[in-house]
Structure 1
Amino acid sequence: MSFIWSLIIGGVIGWLAGLITGRDIPGGIFGNIIAGFIGAWLGSLILGNWGPDIGGFAVIPAIIGSIILVLIVSFILRRVGNNRKYGEA
């Protein structure tokens, strides 16, 4: 049951990061879950584990890490899309 709880919290964190940045996360709900998990890892690496803890996630660093991740992924996808649009590889 704790695994399912972690998936839900990871999805919510990824969804919040997408809302805050105003950018879509590729992959729908699975993209949100992945962004939540990777963002939580990234946020705890950068900021440590502080603030409220829900489902094994330090919420504030996880959201900040997910925001950073969403911005990086959207920047990369935009660059790749622009290169394909103009015929560059």
Structure 2
Amino acid sequence: MEWIVAIIVGGVAGWLASLVMRRDASMGIFMNVVVGIVGALLGNAFIAPLLGFGGSIQSFNAAGFVIAILGAIVLLAIANLIQRGRVR
């Protein structure tokens, strides 16, 4: 059951991050889920210790969701730098 929650929360976080970074048209639902889950993992590893709180996308809570979105945004910004040489 935890993996189903992780996929759903990761998909929503990836979709919101792609809207913020204006990459929604170039990404499909599968890439939204992947970016959201990887962003959540990176966010919990690097951003959560800086902010002083953490969470998990396997059990839905607001802190974990915000960290997942922030991690996905950072991941998309890095992808923009690699692809285009700049951040949008």
Q: Greater strand percent: which structure?
A: 1
> 2:2–2:59: 8 Å Cα contact kept in structure 1?
no
1:56 aligns to what? 59
Q: CA deviation at 1:2?
A: 3.0
% identical aligned pairs: 42
**Selected match of 2:84 from 67, 78, 84:** 78
Counterparts of 1:1-89 in structure 2, within 5 Å, are 1-24=1-24, 27-48=27-48, 50=53, 55-56=58-59, 58-79=64-85
2:26 and 2:41 map into 1 onto residues whose CA distance is 19
Structure 1, unaligned stretches of length 5 or more?
80-89
Q: Which runs of 5+ in 2 are unaligned?
A: none
Q: How many residues align?
A: 79
Once superposed, what is the RMSD of the aligned Cα atoms? Answer: 2.4
Structure 1: which amino acid aligns with 2:48?
Answer: G
TM-score normalised by L of structure 1: 0.70
Distance of 1:35 and 1:60 partners within structure 2 = 14
Q: Deviations over 1:39-65 (max 9, x none)?
A: 001111122273776543611111111
Checking the alignment, whether the CA contact within 8 Å between 1:23 and 1:74 is kept in structure 2 is no
| SS of equivalent to 2:70 | helix
Residues 47 and 67, structure 2, Cα contact 8 Å, conserved in 1: yes
